[in-house]
Structure formats: structure tokens, C-alpha cells
Amino acid sequence: MYYAIVALTMVVAPLLSIAAEYPGITGLGSLILIATKWFAFWAVGVRLLLAGVTQILRPGFTLKGILGVDEARAHVVVQELGFANVSIGLAGILSILFSIWALPVAFIGGLFLGLAGVNHLMRPHRTMRETVAMVTDLWAAAILLAVFLFSLF
């Protein structure tokens, strides 16, 4: 289930959403706006909201299942990460209603996912789930930060 949710929210759903609007894209500027909208919604909003809820309710899944850490005393740290993920995720979800939020969400989410991906990269003994988290974090960060940078010009 974990792999399906990650693949759906970080790759499949954003690309399908962009493709659904593709006939209306008239140039690079339109493509950047649409990519920002859908990656902010799916990769930041839905993905981080789901991760956050899981981290709050089942901190052991993140600790043991993803990070390979079996320490019950660390649950509180993962739950606090969950609070941050829920907060950022809700901003991403709401960016679909408040389009002016999409660009800041893309920057915040891209930076967060990029830093998380690099942190996973630095761990030499990753679980398969952590490797998937790393790859998809870096993928989404690259797109989110690229659309943010392109929007500045």
C-alpha cells in the first residue's frame, strides 16, 4: 500500500492531472502554472497530509518501516514531524482553492522534500521504503523547485 500511495501522489496523479489540462496549455508559462498547481496539490498536499496523519497515528511505521529504527521513545519526534507534514499538506490541498498559494507551497514543499531526500541519501543503509521515499522526494523537489524558479522569470 505504501508504494502505491507514494507512486500515485508523487508521480501518477500529478502527471495525469497535468495531462488532463494539456489541451489548454498555450505555452511554457501555462505549463509552469499547471505543473505548479498539480504538484503543489498532489506531491505536497495529498502526499504530506497522508504522511503526516500516518506519522501522528502510527509513528512506529515511519520509525521502523521506513527508517529502520526500533525505538519507542522516538515516537514523539515522529509525531511532531507528522504535525509539520499535516500543516504543509493542508496548505497544499488548499492551494487548489486559493491559487495564489500554489507558488509558496511549491517553494516550501520543494525545499522540504529536497532536504528530506538529501537526508535519506546521506544514510548509507536505507530500507527499500526509505529508498523509495528518497527517490520520490528528490523527484518532486526537482519539479517543485524548478517550477518555482521558472516562475520568477
pLDDT tens digits for 68-124?
888 888 899 999 999 999 999 999 999 999 999 999 999 999 999 999 999 999 988
44 has a pLDDT exceeding 90: yes
Q: What is the average pLDDT value for the chain, to the nearest integer? A: 93
25 has a pLDDT exceeding 90: no
Distance, CA of 90 to CA of 101 (rounded, Å) = 11
Indicate whether this model's pTM tops 0.95: no
3-state secondary structure of 68: coil
Query: By C-alpha distance, which of 94, 115, 114 is closest to 104?
Result: 94
DSSP code of residue 121: H
Distance, CA of 78 to CA of 60 (rounded, Å) = 8
Q: What is the pLDDT of residue 57?
A: 97
Q: What is the pLDDT of residue 54?
A: 95
Using 50, 70 and 90 to split pLDDT, how confident is the model at 127? Answer: confident
Pair 126, 117: CB distance under 8 Å = no
With DSSP H G I counted as helix, E B as strand and the rest as coil, what are the percentages for the chain, rounded to 5?
Answer: 85, 0, 15
Q: What is the pLDDT of residue 35?
A: 92
DSSP code of residue 25: -
Q: What is the pLDDT of residue 70?
A: 86
